[in-house]
Amino acid sequence: MDAAAWDQYHRAHRGDRGWAEETVIELLTAAPAGRALDLGAGAGRHALWLANRGWSVTAMDFSAEARAELGRAAAEMPAAVAERLTVVDADLTAPPADWLPAAAADLTLLIDVDLPEADLAALLPALPGSLGPGGGLLVQVPVGGDGQAGLQAIRGALEPLLTLEYAGVLPAAEAGGRPSAFVFGRA
């Protein structure tokens, strides 16, 4: 889907902010707050969850409607929470040079962003560079078939660059109707 189609989606789902994924809650509830990048942040269910827990979050999305929805949600939060959020227009398939600040994040998220295979393959190797020492990268994206081929592709791209702590497939029933690869690694 292009940005216009995502705009349409977010217009149709205005106010529908959803809950953070269980995987995020389980992995990060006990983690100390730091700096996070949320790529393809949508209406911001993870960005807001993190900001509420003290994280400073840069949320990136190419949909103006998504960014507006996130802005509205942030405005409903206490000022201290809203101040921890920065919302940026970025296309993950054609990012401008230096869009990912090097070694600037303690956590980078790519969740439920359904990029074309070639674009995901191009994006993944860039992500570990966004992490400071010990920083975590969580990729949870829909994959075709039974999910194994997609998982292996993601794993193959990240394994040389990170220490993987988890790599598996979330079944469709747990991942919004389609299997998702779920990979977490640390710099």
Ligand X SMILES: C[S@@+](CC[C@H](N)C(=O)[O-])C[C@H]1O[C@@H](n2cnc3c(N)ncnc32)[C@H](O)[C@@H]1O
Which residue ranges make up the site for ligand X (CB under 6 A)? 6, 40-42, 45-46, 61-63, 66, 90-93, 111-113, 115
Question: In the complex, what is the shortest distance from the CB of residue 110 to ligand X, in angstroms, rounded to a whole number?
Answer: 8
Edge-to-edge strand ranges of the sheet holding 56-61: 85-89, 56-61, 35-39, 105-111, 131-142, 180-186, 163-170
Task: Write out the two tokens for 157.
Answer: 């791209």
Q: Detail the DSSP E strand segments found in 19-162.
A: 35-39, 56-61, 85-89, 105-111, 131-142
Question: In the complex, what is the shortest distance from the CB of residue 156 to ligand X, in angstroms, rounded to a whole number?
Answer: 21
Give 57 or 131: the residue with its C-beta nearer to ligand X: 57
Beta-carbon contacts of residue 93 (< 8 Å; ≥ 6 apart): 115, 116, 119, 122, 123
Task: Write out the two tokens for 104.
Answer: 């600037």
Question: In the complex, what is the shortest distance from the CB of residue 72 to ligand X, in angstroms, rounded to a whole number?
Answer: 14
Question: In the complex, what is the shortest distance from the CB of residue 5 to ligand X, in angstroms, rounded to a whole number?
Answer: 9
Give 114 or 163: the residue with its C-beta nearer to ligand X: 114
Give 43 or 162: the residue with its C-beta nearer to ligand X: 43
Question: In the complex, what is the shortest distance from the CB of residue 130 to ligand X, in angstroms, rounded to a whole number?
Answer: 15
Beta-carbon contacts of residue 141 (< 8 Å; ≥ 6 apart): 110, 111, 112, 113, 114, 115, 120, 150, 154, 180, 181
Give 57 or 92: the residue with its C-beta nearer to ligand X: 92
Give 41 or 158: the residue with its C-beta nearer to ligand X: 41
